[in-house]
């Protein structure tokens, strides 16, 4: 029993068969060659969703908090839908962000060009470009 071959090995074997078939049956050789060309792994492109959320302003933060306090039974998802933002973003506006900063502080820092620690670029080259 022959050992299992990898796809590149099979592709090369089929190319050799197509070359051998060419003088005997050119049509079959072309069909084999076409299938050989199909035997490449295609990289899967991850499509990003269109950016559809509104830019958050300090005024919007104040309005979100007002709406949440005026109607405590209103869900964060419903509040977010009203302002064109995600319910999770509404939660961040109401409760603050993970690192304790309010949304307004984050907006000010963004405008001032302050980056979060995980956003700093490193001097190490990217080997996998």
Is the torsion defined by CA of 48, 50, 52, 56 positive or negative? Answer: positive
Rounded Cα distance between 41 and 65, Å, is 50
List pLDDT tens digits, range 64-123. Answer: 989 999 998 999 999 999 998 888 888 888 887 755 677 777 778 878 877 665 555 555
Element (DSSP H or E) covering residue 129: none
Tokens of 92: 């961040």
Cα torsion 32, 34, 39, 41 to 10°: value is: 180
Q: What is the DSSP letter of 72?
A: T
Q: What is the pLDDT of residue 129?
A: 33
What's the CA gap between 98 and 91, in Å, rounded? Answer: 11
């Amino acid at each position: 029993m022959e050992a299992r071959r990898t796809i590149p090995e099979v592709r090369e074997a089929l190319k050799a068969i197509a070359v051998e078939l060419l003088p005997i049956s050119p049509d079959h050789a072309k069909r084999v060659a076409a299938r050989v060309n199909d035997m490449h792994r295609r990289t899967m492109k991850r499509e990003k969703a269109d950016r559809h959320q509104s830019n958050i302003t300090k005024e919007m933060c104040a309005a979100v908090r007002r709406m949440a306090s005026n109607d405590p039974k209103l869900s964060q998802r419903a509040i977010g839908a009203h302002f064109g933002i995600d319910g999770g973003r509404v939660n961040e506006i109401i409760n603050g962000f993970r690192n304790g900063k309010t949304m307004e502080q984050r907006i000010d820092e963004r405008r001032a060009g302050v980056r979060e620690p995980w956003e700093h670029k490193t001097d190490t080259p990217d080997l996998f470009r």
